[in-house]
Amino acid sequence: MNNKIMRMVLAAALALVLALALAACGEDEVSVDEAIDKAVEQAEEQLGTGEEIDACELLTQKDANDLFRKEATKGTPNTPMVLGECVWEWDSETSNQSVILMVQAGELFYVDDPALESVDIGDRGNIEVNEAAEMIFIQWVQDGNTYSLNYFSIGDDMPEITSMRSDVEALAEEISGRI
């Protein structure tokens, strides 16, 4: 489904929910129409531009090579309904690393969780370092869209995930500067 259709479907769904809620409250038809128009307008504002982005221009193979300290290969993006996604991987028989950049339309996908540590990237951002899952997740809002950079490593010969934090955070800052 392309992004324009996705936006229209989401806006229609939001408008329908709002219209049903207002109708259930006994509002008149004019108020319902106004509420629908307002809901569609707000949904379109929150969904951003919807223009596709080549995420691999923002997260390059050199970036992945430097992060992994090994030669990265291009992975297969598999996240539906994003403006752009870039996947880089390194695999051996016992270990692997991956770094993924996703760009999502608007700010609806940004998770503003007070439990996450804030980072000074874009308009606002946060970071999660999860030792149990061996992953680092950084997300930020910039130019009306949500960006997320995810780093994963598995294997005994991989560096401790906490030791990769500064490298992944620096990479997110570089990507933000390229936008």
> What is the reported pLDDT for 81?
79
* C-alpha dist (Å) from residue 134 to 68, 83, 92, 112: 14, 26, 17, 22
- What span, in angstroms and rounded, lies between the C-alpha atoms of 63 and 59? 6
Q: pTM here?
A: 0.72
**Tokens matching residue 2:** 């392309």
Do 39 and 8 contact (CB within 8 A), yes or no?
no
The per-residue pLDDT for 40 is: 54
How high is the pLDDT of residue 8?
47
Predicted pLDDT of residue 2: 43
Give the closest residue to 51 by CA, choosing from 113, 96, 7.
7
- For residue 1, the model assigns a pLDDT of 41
Residue 88: predicted pLDDT:
97
DSSP assignment, residue 122?
S
The Cα 12–Cα 18 span in angstroms is 10
At 14-40, the pLDDT tens digits run: 544 444 454 555 545 556 667 666 655
Order of strands, edge to edge, in the sheet holding 73-74? 73-74, 84-91, 96-104, 145-154, 135-142, 124-130, 117-119
d(CA 38, CA 137): 34
Domain spans of the chain, in order of start: 3-46, 55-178
The parts of the chain modelled with pLDDT lower than 70 are 1-33, 35-50
Task: Return d(Cα 163, Cα 39) in angstroms, integer.
Answer: 45
Cβ atoms 80, 1 nearer than 8 A: yes
